[in-house]
Amino acid sequence: MTDFSLSPKGARARAIDLRMRQSLADSLDYIATEIHSLINFDQKAMAGLVAQLRQGARFAPSTFALYTELVLALGSGDTTSARLLLAELLDERPQQQGWRLLALDDADIRTQAPRYMRLMGSDPGTEFNIVPPTAQTVTQFRERFARTYRLLRTALPELAAEFDALVSQVIMVEGDPVAKYQFDGGSSYMLWGGLFLNATSHPNDVALIEVMAHESAHILLFGYASDEALVNNDDDSLYHSPLRVDPRPMDGIFHATYVSARMHWAMASLIASGVLDDEAREFARAAMKADQDNFAAGYSVVAEHGDLTATGRAVMAGALDYMDSIKA
């Protein structure tokens, strides 16, 4: 990967997604070779899954989640759980379409919902509670999301292309309104392609586009970090986070800083497209100003305390180049 410029590119995102799926295939092929004499499993089905992944078949986030839990079970010597996870993994089938919009309790993912929630909540420094949305909320959000996606395709086609490449499931949830942090959206490297959105948040189409840019940028960073971490800082070392009231690991601050630049790009490009009315344009301008302030605050911490890898430096340089360009 040599192009770490900030602006979205559909072709780059498709290459990253393919690499993630091929990497999963390589890892599963290795695991199958190592355990075939220890655990009984359908080797023909495994070979078929590996072949489909290598060809870029669009398996859901559940496939990556099952792989994560399989590795953990094997690492702990829990062959009973590993056998069950293998059987479930080999039952996975690729999606026959692009991204899907699903509620957390949708019949197609209901059995995976506990796993999704468990892996989304695996960060001990992040507290949130998500629940399935009401039927009325699902109906309303489907209409809103379809309208917003049409706007995204019209005004920001490359961001839409990147979104199409990186996201396989958009999962509607609701958050806990009395929680310390309101859950607006989230993603996890262990759930590649999964984007969780609070269907009761985001007051208008511009806000929804901003959160789509936000979460797809996190997924992009997960892809960038597949070969090399973005930072060398220890996860146990916490730093003042200008974007949160609690201290955070450097990787989290790095993510938030980069994502702020991506959100600024989305708002600025949306304004420049000329498709917004006066009210939406003012909302985008206010969001853009907040994103600029958040980037500056986050970057000051990254610059002072961040021990960035070569990949991390290249990624952040792309964001900084963009943010510097808007000051010219």
CB 42 within 8 A of CB 68: no
Characterize the bridge pairing of strands 185-186 and 194-198.
antiparallel
Among 243, 210, 242, 188, which residue's Cα sits nearest to residue 61?
188
Predicted confidence at residue 314, as pLDDT, reads 97
pTM, two decimal places? 0.94
Angle at 61 between CA 59 and CA 67, to 5 degrees: 90
Among 224, 146, 235, 144, which residue's Cα sits nearest to residue 192?
224
Predicted confidence at residue 82, as pLDDT, reads 97
**DSSP annotation of 186:** E
d(CA 301, CA 162): 28
Predicted confidence at residue 127, as pLDDT, reads 57
Contacts of residue 285, Cβ cutoff 8 Å, sequence gap at least 6: 267, 271
Number of H helices, E strands in the chain: 11, 7
CB 163 within 8 A of CB 211: no
Predicted confidence at residue 125, as pLDDT, reads 55
What mean pLDDT comes out for the span 134-151? Answer: 97
Q: What are phi and psi of 237, to 5 degrees?
A: -90, 120
Minimum mean pLDDT range among 11-15, 116-120, 285-289: 116-120
